[in-house]
Amino acid sequence: MAKLIADWELLHAALQPHLTDLPCLKDKADEIEALIAEAKGMDTKQQDLRGVLQETVRQRQALEKRGKDLHLRTAALLRGSFGFDNQTLLGFGLKPRRPRRKKTPADTQQQEPAAQQ
Q: Which domain holds residue 40?
A: 2-69
Instruction: Give residue 58's pLDDT.
Output: 98
Q: How far apart are CA 72 and CA 76, in angstroms?
A: 6
Q: How far apart are CA 92 and CA 81, in angstroms?
A: 13
CA 48 to chain centre: 18
Residue 7 lies in a domain: yes
Number of folded domains that form the chain: 1
Instruction: Give residue 105's pLDDT.
Output: 72
Task: Give the pLDDT of the chain (117 residues) as one tens digit per residue.
Answer: 789 999 999 999 998 888 888 888 899 999 999 999 999 999 999 999 999 999 999 999 999 999 999 999 999 999 988 888 888 888 988 888 887 777 777 766 776 665 555
Instruction: Give residue 57's pLDDT.
Output: 98
pTM of the model: 0.57
Residue 35 lies in a domain: yes
Residue 31 lies in a domain: yes
In degrees and rounded to multiples of 5, residue 50 shows phi and psi of -65, -40
> Minimal CA–CA distance to 87: which of 98, 75, 76?
98
Contact between 81 and 93 under an 8 Å Cβ cutoff? The reply is: no
Residue 41 lies in a domain: yes
Residue 98 lies in a domain: no
